[in-house]
Structure 1
Amino acid sequence: MIRKRSTEPLDHAELARLLPAPADPRLAADRQDLLEEYLMSEIQQPDAAPAATPARRPLRRAVLFATPVAAAAAALAVVVTLGGSPGTSTVAAPRLVKAPVVQIEEGSTVRLASTVQEIAAAATAHPLPQPGPGQFIYIKSQVSFMASSHNADTGEDATWVQPLHDREVWKSPDGTKGWLDEPGYQDKGGITLDNKEPRKQNTYQWLSAQPADPEALLKSVYATVSGDRDHDQQAFNEIGSLIREQLVPAGLAAALYQAAGRIPGVVVVEHAQDVSGRDGIALARLDPWTGERSEWIFDRTSHQYLGSRGVQVREFNGVKPGTVVERTTIVTRAVVDAKNQRPGAGEATA
């Protein structure tokens, strides 16, 4: 029997649609993360062929964990049914492909300060569009996330990834309204990301209220993380999620990168390829628990953000060193007038 674990990152809005309303007191952020990971464990796949299991909704990538997750998340018992059920539609996702494997280049702090300053200066020189009342933030990217399998009969492990595919997200500035369309991994047309209440963090509105001072901003980011998991890695991931699928208000972008450069363990990787094969320079950090290095890749000359990459540096749960477990690149950032609307002529894009 093949047991497949999907490892795509799960957006908090998507998680909210899977779970009943939480009781008070609210789960700490790390417990919610563990619950997300638990939802993605023990996904069954019948044969050794690398075909993706149809799912009712996309499971975005999360770090890969083994059985301790179930115990840590036992406070909530949640069952996610994969495949069809009455009244729901399913999507036959494209067949998975073997995960790329790259040579691991050691990171260094020698050029960290100067690289951060160059990236911050580039962000200031190219401000992103700003949404007005009633408008939506639109992000189109290309992504590929990991799904690993274990053959219980032979004990063999294999690591597969999704084919590179489009992902489109619409978000209101306060986070109450949103839409996700990921053809081949969603019900046709996409799914809603609406929330009843404004989200208190990681929205454009939340970012707009943050100080443009790197030290104060870093304290604000650390205030959003909790629990026993590595707080430095959580802070790095929080900033990474803002870079990938959010707009950063004018004046804050430089401070955001400068704040990231102050997180312990952040290094510069001199050569990191994006999904198009472009050789860039990366700010990166190794997760001490999972052994995965998260890399933010920037153009070597312009220092503009290209995308992200996750590389396994230390073997974990059968995933070998050098395996590329995540790839993303930004195609378009824009401000549009309505949910599900795509940018057209004359609209602000970046």
Structure 2
Amino acid sequence: MIRTPWRRREEPLDHAELRRLLPAPGDPELSSDRLRGLEEHLMTEIRNRTPDTAPDPLVGPPPAGAPAGDRASRPGRRSGRRPVLVGVAAALALAAAGVAALAGGPGGSGGSENPGRVAAPPAGAVPAPVVQVVRGSTAGLAGAVADISGAAARAELPEPGPGQFLYIRSEVSGLVSWEGSDGKNRSYVDKIHPREVWMSPDGAKGWLLEPHGKGTGRDGITLDDPEGGERTLNSPSHAYLKTLPTDPSLLLEKIYDETRGMGNGPDQQAFGTIGDLLREQVVPPKLAAGLYRAAARIPGVVLVDDSVDAAGRHGIAIARTDESDGSRTEWIFDRETFAYLGERTVQTRDAEGIRAGTVRGHTAVTGRAVVDALKQRPAGSAPGGDRAGAPAAPSAGT
């Protein structure tokens, strides 16, 4: 390679010339789990820097009609998972601006040489569990999907009436990015904590309560969408779900068509979209059965013999690995009833500073019900987000 000796420039810098010499900027596309981890890292650093009584600089009161989603903010699309706080676009913009430097604020002890590092992990974070990665296989997948979809179709689920709200309660934990004062990356996760969501059937009104989460505050945040924007697979309502076809072929065709160009490839995006629909909704029984059958037709989907949800319940799992970062998302089902229990994401190979076997996040759905008012809990639920007794397995198929 020919190197040109450096010479001092006496004339003003020619920016146009400089742009011609530099390579064109890339347009990277990160995985949904990586984006979620970035969002959580940003929120953790801001929370460490900002007193509890101060308004969150990223969240604040949501604007009217602005749902939130942790797979959200794709160009031309509405948010994916409405009840999560920081949009991916905002997270990426802040990351590009160097928001990671906030770690050197109050509470950090990185010292003058490493002002951006903190000596202790974020408040409420614990070391991420590391498990043995169980190999998945297509052997037995068809039979398991038949059992799961059959149970889903027979499920007796709550149906909301006029003025009522769907209530979903879960236990959740997600990855927290942290770099210690020694410069080494370590995988931490939030302590498992309750999450409650109320949604009107049309999606116009809602509330999220996650007091141990990021940015929701102790009283929660509104999910109201008074303008009643267009419903899509990435911003669904219960009423919208009832309009979808239940035939697996038609469902999969619609999913691929509506999510074209999103995520890390069409197959991974299709699998993630189905998972989003199942996690925090009350899906009509025939539609749930169709979604499971559609998922089984996506290339790369396998059956995992054993997985564990956030409540410690074991089950079989329908899973797919995102080849871009090695993270495998597992939908977990009860071995006997084939009820949907929750979801787990496990790192299958060392990547992005995360070692193989690290549990990047997991959830456990512990209740789905219909209630008469916003913020009302079903009978038997304790106030303040605490469970009354052990978690009960949710209805089959959801």
The alignment's TM-score, normalised by the length of structure 1, stands at: 0.76
1:263 Cα shift?
1.1
- Residues 292 and 40 from structure 1, CA distance in 2 versus in 1: closer, same or farther, beyond 3 angstroms? farther
Is the strand fraction higher in 1 or 2?
Answer: 1
* Structure 2 residue ranges without an equivalent (≥5): 1-36, 44-58, 67-73, 81-86, 109-117, 381-393
Match of 1:96 in 2: 125
Q: Deviations over 1:88-139 (max 9, x none)?
A: xxxxxxx200000000111101111111001001112223211122221110
1:325 Cα shift?
0.7
Matched ranges for 1:1-350 at <5 A: 5-7=38-40, 17=62, 27-29=75-77, 34-35=88-89, 37-38=91-92, 41=95, 42-43=99-100, 44-45=102-103, 46=108, 47-52=118-123, 95-151=124-180, 154-185=182-213, 186-195=216-225, 196-201=227-232, 202-227=236-261, 229-344=264-379, 350=395
Distance of 1:128 and 1:235 partners within structure 2: 25
- 2:336 is paired with a residue of what secondary structure? coil
Q: 8 Å contact 1:7–1:40 — kept in the other structure?
A: no
Segment drifting more, 228-237 vs 210-219: 228-237
Segment drifting more, 336-345 vs 320-329: 336-345
Distance of 1:302 and 1:203 partners within structure 2: 27
1:146 Cα shift?
0.8
Distance of 1:30 and 1:168 partners within structure 2: 22
* Structure 1 residue ranges without an equivalent (≥5): 53-94
Tell me which amino acid in the other structure corresponds to 1:301.
E
- 1:252 is paired with a residue of what secondary structure? helix
Segment drifting more, 284-293 vs 122-131: 122-131
- Residues 274 and 245 from structure 1, CA distance in 2 versus in 1: closer, same or farther, beyond 3 angstroms? same
1:154 Cα shift?
3.5
1:238 Cα shift?
1.1
Q: 8 Å contact 1:29–1:226 — kept in the other structure?
A: no
- 2:89 is paired with a residue of what secondary structure? helix
1:19 Cα shift?
11
Distance of 1:322 and 1:18 partners within structure 2: 39
Distance of 1:242 and 1:205 partners within structure 2: 13
- Residues 164 and 312 from structure 1, CA distance in 2 versus in 1: closer, same or farther, beyond 3 angstroms? same
How many residue pairs match? The answer is 293
Between Structure 1 and Structure 2, whose CA radius of gyration is higher? 2
Q: Deviations over 1:257-292 (max 9, x none)?
A: 111111111100111122233321000010122211
Distance of 1:50 and 1:18 partners within structure 2: 32
Match of 2:48 in 1: none
The alignment's TM-score, normalised by the length of structure 2, stands at: 0.68
1:173 Cα shift?
1.5
